[in-house]
């Protein structure tokens, strides 16, 4: 009998990789996209409980708008606003509402009496925070838009330019804020980021007011548009990281 | 099955727990140790509020942090300092937590009325919690921990603030619940776990001292536990020679319940050791018992 060596086909690297991926994808639960995840969470929990503190948020927002308006009026009495100066003002102060909401209703959340219980529920504080922060960002953008609309009619500003400038500033700050929350450990460094934004803007507008105004106004409209979109995408990605933050870092 | 595998926990340079190995199956586990022994740290690691510095905690073979919300979905937890929103009624509060636990509203309402009946708060379900006594708040806490019918129920000092009747009711409830789940109950009150725990876990010097049933742990002092009456004038000397577990004045003398190694005196009465005797003896300064089953 002739003994012939049987031919066993050996898969190449590509086939092996494809097979491994197929086995893994069948074995693991499919991971939903971040958007779908937020939607599922919203459907399961509902707006009422995601924003359990809606009255407090609305009150804080209302109070902040009043304070910021009076602050603007009193500053306006001392230094008459010129058009260019206003753009600087809008860029520096656009994240203010977001900053207030994010501080009181996210950073301060660890002081909540039921923090530990909330953190051990299926949807914990960080997962809820991702939805809330997205909402805060969008609400701040709309409120800024509304205020700019009121200012624009009074001071003859270019509304669209002012709005895109404000949105750029808002999402740049929001991304920076979330980055600080995710990467920095001490409360002081987190607060320093918040204070840093205001201080740098004040410094630039006070010491090199004209240069700063010129830079802000020279940048073309579409560049702000691109920065705004990129800022929003980065912000969205950081929100996604927030949902797994507790899993990666521990929370107490 | 929940497995704690070589777990150590450090806060900076300060070590709280070292090389802890425990396996939990369905049943009641009493985590018994004095305050400051590391019970709450271990519990916080079991509920993912803290992460081990070393080692791992596995649920059905998978690390609990990796399971993320799937683990929290089967978890019920009552923290030592249980917080609540003062202006909420128990029903509002439980509905809120049920939503966070991913329970649908209709199902949650049925479950909440069932639980409030179970913890005897049915009549107070609509009242604001700011008017509640400590015991009532604690009962709301117990109800919230059971909302999602958890497979792992972890209760940190659950009987604090409960009166004796409520404690008895609570023990009965836990025995019933433990038939098909893991119940881990942390306490420094021996009577809370003595009659209901399938296993007692004692922690001392950052490690597990004993893990066994009540009977076996109590038997560690078998033949060493006595009672006797001593004149007041001799009480101080007696305390120096033997480890006193309990003392009371009786018939104009001091009655001692104590541990003695070696030959007993004729006037001493041998008594059956209890879990509380072992607990008090084990945590007396500088004492170690041999024959521990860890």
Catalytic-labelled residue, pool B63, B81, B122, B157: B157
pLDDT tens across A4-46, in order? 777 777 888 888 899 888 888 777 777 778 889 899 999 989 9
Name the more confident of A109 and B112. B112
Tell me what pLDDT residue B294 has.
40
Tokens representing residue B119 in the block: 């913890």
What confidence tier does B16 reach under pLDDT thresholds 50, 70, 90? very high
Q: Does B58 touch chain A (CB under 8 A)?
A: no
Residue A161 pLDDT > 70: yes
Tell me what the pLDDT averaged over chain B comes to.
Answer: 89
Q: Does B15 touch chain A (CB under 8 A)?
A: no
pLDDT tens across A199-216, in order? 888 777 777 667 777 777
Instruction: Check CB contact under 8 Å for A114 and B84.
Output: yes
Tell me what the pLDDT averaged over chain A comes to.
Answer: 83
Residue B262 pLDDT > 70: yes
Instruction: Check CB contact under 8 Å for B84 and A120.
Output: no
Instruction: Check CB contact under 8 Å for B73 and A122.
Output: yes
What confidence tier does B293 reach under pLDDT thresholds 50, 70, 90? very low
Residues B114-125, mean pLDDT to the nearest whole number: 90
Residue A106 pLDDT > 80: no
What does residue B34 show for φ and ψ, rounded to 5 degrees?
-70, 170
ipTM of the complex: 0.82
Domains of chain B: which residue ranges?
A: 2-218, 222-282
Residues of B in contact with A240 (CB under 8 A): none
Helices A125-155/A34-45 angle, 10° precision: 100
Residues of A in contact with B155 (CB under 8 A): none
User: Is B63 in the active site?
Assistant: no
Instruction: Check CB contact under 8 Å for A122 and B84.
Output: no
Instruction: Check CB contact under 8 Å for B77 and A112.
Output: no
| CATH of B2-218 among 3.40.50.300, 3.30.70.20, 3.40.1440.60, 3.50.50.60 | 3.40.50.300
Can you tell me the distance from the alpha carbon of B70 to that of B88, in angstroms, rounded to the nearest whole number?
A: 28
Q: Does B96 touch chain A (CB under 8 A)?
A: yes
| % residues pLDDT > 70 (chain B) | 97
Tell me what pLDDT residue B292 has.
44
Of B72, B79, B105, the CB nearest to A121: B72
Residue partners of B129: CB distance under 8 A and separation at least 6: B84, B85, B86, B87, B88, B89, B90, B93, B136, B137, B140
Å from A183 to nearest chain B CA?
A: 18
Domains of chain A: which residue ranges?
A: 31-249
Residues B155-162, mean pLDDT to the nearest whole number: 84
Instruction: Check CB contact under 8 Å for B50 and A252.
Output: yes
Å from B58 to nearest chain A CA?
A: 14
């Amino acid at each position: 009998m002739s003994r012939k060596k049987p031919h066993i086909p050996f898969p190449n690297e590509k086939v092996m990789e494809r097979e491994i991926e197929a086995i893994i994808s069948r074995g693991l639960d499919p991971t939903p996209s971040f958007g779908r995840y937020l939607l599922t969470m919203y459907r399961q929990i509902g707006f009422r409980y995601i924003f359990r503190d809606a009255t407090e948020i609305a009150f804080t927002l209302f109070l902040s708008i009043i304070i910021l308006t009076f602050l603007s009026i009193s500053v306006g009495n001392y230094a008459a606003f010129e058009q260019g100066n206003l753009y600087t003002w809008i860029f520096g102060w656009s994240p203010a509402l977001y900053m207030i909401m994010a501080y009181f209703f996210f950073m301060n959340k660890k002081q909540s009496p039921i923090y530990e219980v909330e953190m051990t529920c299926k949807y914990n504080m960080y997962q809820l925070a991702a939805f809330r922060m997205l909402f805060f960002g969008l609400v701040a953008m709309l409120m800024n838009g509304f205020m700019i609309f009121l200012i624009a009619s009074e001071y003859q500003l270019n509304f669209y330019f002012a709005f895109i400038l404000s949105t750029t500033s808002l999402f740049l700050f929001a991304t920076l804020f979330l980055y600080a929350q995710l990467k920095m450990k001490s409360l002081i460094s987190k607060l320093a980021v918040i204070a840093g934004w205001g201080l740098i803007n004040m410094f630039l507008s006070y010491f090199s007011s004209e240069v700063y105004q010129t830079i802000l106004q020279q940048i073309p409209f579409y560049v702000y548009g691109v920065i705004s979109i990129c800022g929003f995408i980065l912000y969205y990605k950081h929100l996604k990281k927030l949902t797994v933050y507790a899993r990666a870092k521990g929370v107490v | 099955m929940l497995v704690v595998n070589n777990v150590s926990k450090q806060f900076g340079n300060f070590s709280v727990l070292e090389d802890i190995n425990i396996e939990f199956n369905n049943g009641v586990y009493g985590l018994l140790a004095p305050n400051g022994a590391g019970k709450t740290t271990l519990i916080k690691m079991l509920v993912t509020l803290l992460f081990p510095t070393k080692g791992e905690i596995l649920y059905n073979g998978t690390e609990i942090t990796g399971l993320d919300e799937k683990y929290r979905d089967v978890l019920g937890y009552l923290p030592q300092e249980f917080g609540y929103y003062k202006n909420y009624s128990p029903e509002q509060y439980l509905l809120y937590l049920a939503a966070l636990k991913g329970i649908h509203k209709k199902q949650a309402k049925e479950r909440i009325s069932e639980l409030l009946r179970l913890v005897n708060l049915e009549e107070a379900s609509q009242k604001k919690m700011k008017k509640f006594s400590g015991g009532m708040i604690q009962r709301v806490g117990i109800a919230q921990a059971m909302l999602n019918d958890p497979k792992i129920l972890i209760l940190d000092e659950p009987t604090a603030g409960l009166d004796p009747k409520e404690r008895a009711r609570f023990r009965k409830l836990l025995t019933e619940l433990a038939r098909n789940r893991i119940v881990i109950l942390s306490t420094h009150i021996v009577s809370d776990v003595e009659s209901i725990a399938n296993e007692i876990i004692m922690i001392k010097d950052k490690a597990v001292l004993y893990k066994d049933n009540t009977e076996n742990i109590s038997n560690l002092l078998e033949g060493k536990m006595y009672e006797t009456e001593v004149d007041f004038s001799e009480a101080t000397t007696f305390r120096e020679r033997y480890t006193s577990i309990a003392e009371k004045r009786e018939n104009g003398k001091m009655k001692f319940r104590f541990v003695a190694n070696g030959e007993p005196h004729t006037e001493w009465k041998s008594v059956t050791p209890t879990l509380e005797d072992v607990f008090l003896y084990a945590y007396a300064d500088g004492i170690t018992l041999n024959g521990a089953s860890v």
